[in-house]
Chains A and B, each alone.
Chain A
């Protein structure tokens, strides 16, 4: 197997596990997202909070033990660039949040919902791809930092 294909197969399996957990945790549910934005349950905060905690400890272990990637490369997540007013993060983030609050699903759940049989999310996916395309077309005219 070529390196690219091997990596794609591993990625597919991890996606499978992630999609499964998204369904079982009900994080793909519109009702759960409404509950989160109405501050009526700890459920979603618990999921995101504990995921971040485990991610943080994992990255610390990777750094401390200098664990290497599949091609023997050093593993470092390059921090995203900041500067100026950081417009792209708060404004882009707010636009994303507006959509999240309406649709009740972010990108991972959109895929998981399609797989679970809620095929109407193909329309949401198509719409999201159009949104991404429009960003690509307007990019030079939008403020970023």
Chain B
């Protein structure tokens, strides 16, 4: 039992996690009858909460309650993994990224590299800084806008779409990476300039 708990509360290698994520595609399809995608839940939140007459949000979000239920589940999974079965090994509280990445981030001014996310940048306190505010608010905004324009996110396009051999998803995934490379190498150094 203790070994099982130990296995459940330690970081998993990619070859365990990746296939498990891949299995969500058939599980949702067979069990729920829906293709795997998460970002459409943002649209449901708009349809459910923001008043107005926009045609794009003029549908009954309750018909898509499974999507919101899935999102609530993901939130619960995060709670279970980090609050209930928190990593016991102190090393598990820091992410084992490569030394090259650590050095690059240090050069950008990220001196505290513990935790899942850098608290210098992404925390309630950091929202008071220009860099922190930009990362959280602008980052979130671009994700919400881009994912609806592209009609899918990492799950809908990269995992489900590529599994289904869709050309549209291949184009979208190339777009995701192009955008990410631009952010990482051009935008972040500008945003983080204040940290150094």
A residues engaging B (CB < 8 A)? 4, 7-38, 40-44, 46-56, 58-59, 61-62, 67-71, 73, 75, 77, 79-82, 86, 88-108, 110-121, 123-137, 139, 142
Interface membership of B50, Cβ < 8 A: yes
Inside 8 A of A42's CB, which chain B residues have their CB?
14
Query: Does the CB pair B29–A142 fall under 8 Å?
Result: no
B131 to A: closest C-beta gap in Å: 10
Chain A residues whose CB sits within 8 angstroms of the CB of B29 once the complex forms: 59, 62, 69, 75, 77
Contact of B145 among A11, A16, A77, A134 (CB under 8 A): A134
B residues near A (Cβ < 8 Å) are 8, 10-12, 14-36, 38-39, 41-43, 45-46, 50, 54, 56-57, 62, 65-67, 69-83, 95-98, 100-101, 104-105, 113, 116-118, 121-124, 126-127, 134-155, 157-169, 171-185, 187-188, 191
Instruction: Beyond A96-B176, A100-B176, list 14 extra A-B contacts (CB 8 Å).
Output: A7-B66, A9-B69, A21-B17, A22-B77, A26-B11, A26-B95, A46-B15, A59-B164, A80-B161, A80-B168, A96-B179, A119-B124, A127-B137, A137-B56
* Chain B residues whose CB sits within 8 angstroms of the CB of A135 once the complex forms: 56, 144-145, 148-149
